[in-house]
Structure 1
Amino acid sequence: MVAVIIACEVGFWVLLGAGLAARYLLRQKTLGAVLLVATAFVDLVALIAAVIDLRGGATADWSHGLAALYIGFSVAFGPTLVRWADERFAHRFAGGPPPTKPPKYGRGRAVYEWKLWFRAVVACAISGALLFAAIRLVDDAERTEALGGTLSVLPRIVLIWGIVALTYTVFPKAAKVVG
């Protein structure tokens, strides 16, 4: 499973790079769009591999839990990452406007952090749903014990991310005064 997850991660970046290169360097907008959309299907490969492995009688281990986390976070943060890379690639190679940067201070930064927290909640919800589905699919507590351990990590991720967002709300950073 680890090799599949690594291959999926490499595949994501290869498709992302190829899609941006096709879009901006080769001026092939349709091909670029197809390659960028294909980045979403990389997650499907990880999911199918995990299901095949578990249905084949494998005992779930940390790598199966990692696959669920990879898929959840990729679905929740993938589109944002693609937009981030697209802005930078367009600016660097196609004369696009400078990339937008997240706010550094005050309310804007707090809102930005809460949006990231919400994406983390979505990622953990997707990961949790996949873990629950795998546990139900296998229906053998001994073979899925590791998945339960991964499930227990999800609320901690949400909590820690929420604490970070909360600190930007309660203790907002202020711009440094020059002079």
Structure 2
Amino acid sequence: MIKWIIAAEILFWVAILAGLFARYVLHRKRLSYLLFLLTPIIDLALIALTVVDLQSGAVATIAHGVSVIYIGVSIAYGKTMIAWADDKFQTYILKKESAKKPLYGTEKGLHELKMWGRHVLAYAIGSVMFWLIITLINSNSTEALFNVWRIWSIALLIDGGISLSYLLFPKRAQSR
């Protein structure tokens, strides 16, 4: 299963880089959209492989759980990841100055809470997927999925505390 996760991750980033190349180097905006649209298809293929693997008798492993997390994160953060890759592509490949400015104070705190909100969305999507798979498989061999979900639950709470700390203890701009 781990090989499918690695393949999906590689294909995900290849599709994004190809989309950025099509957009900025080839100046083919519609082609870039088509390439970006491949990313959710890659995600769906990964979840389908996970379900097929488990239905054919495989014992659930941490890798199966990671594939479910991957889906939630990819859906919740997909647009953000593409925007990040777009900024990096323009900065390092096209040698343009990044339009992104550092955030400080309340603005940074609100941004971190917004990112935590994306984490909550990823967790909600992943949780639904976890429970659907556990119910669909209807086997005693899904304990690993439940354990991965529990660890993710703890990570979500820790991330929420860290995100909130940016509001309680705001990051200040460095004086020159």
TM-score, normalised to structure 1's length? 0.91
1:38 paired to 2:38 = yes
Provide the residue aligned with 1:68 in structure 2.
68
Matches within 5 A, 1:1-179: 1-90=1-90, 98-103=98-103, 105-140=104-139, 142-178=140-176
Distance across 1 between alignment mates of 2:102 and 2:66: 29
Provide structure 2 residue ranges, at least 5 long, that are not aligned to the other structure.
Answer: none
Distance across 1 between alignment mates of 2:136 and 2:63: 17
- Quick check: 1:60–1:145 contact (8 Å CA) kept in 2? yes
1:127 counterpart letter in structure 2: G
- Quick check: 1:128–1:154 contact (8 Å CA) kept in 2? no
Deviating more after overlay: 157-166 vs 90-99:
90-99
Q: Aligned Cα RMSD in Å? A: 1.7
Distance across 1 between alignment mates of 2:121 and 2:173: 31
How many residues align? The count is: 176
Distance across 1 between alignment mates of 2:36 and 2:102: 23
Deviating more after overlay: 24-33 vs 87-96:
87-96
- Quick check: 1:71–1:127 contact (8 Å CA) kept in 2? yes
In the TM superposition, what is the alpha-carbon distance from 1:98 to its structure 2 partner? 3.0
Change (3 A) 1:175 1:97: closer
In the TM superposition, what is the alpha-carbon distance from 1:113 to its structure 2 partner? 0.5
In the TM superposition, what is the alpha-carbon distance from 1:85 to its structure 2 partner? 1.5
In the TM superposition, what is the alpha-carbon distance from 1:117 to its structure 2 partner? 0.5
Distance across 1 between alignment mates of 2:92 and 2:169: 35
Identical aligned residues as a percent: 38
In the TM superposition, what is the alpha-carbon distance from 1:135 to its structure 2 partner? 0.6
TM-score, normalised to structure 2's length? 0.93
In the TM superposition, what is the alpha-carbon distance from 1:102 to its structure 2 partner? 4.6
SS at match of 1:143: helix
- Quick check: 1:91–1:97 contact (8 Å CA) kept in 2? yes
In the TM superposition, what is the alpha-carbon distance from 1:31 to its structure 2 partner? 0.9
In the TM superposition, what is the alpha-carbon distance from 1:66 to its structure 2 partner? 0.8
Distance across 2 between alignment mates of 1:131 and 1:4: 18
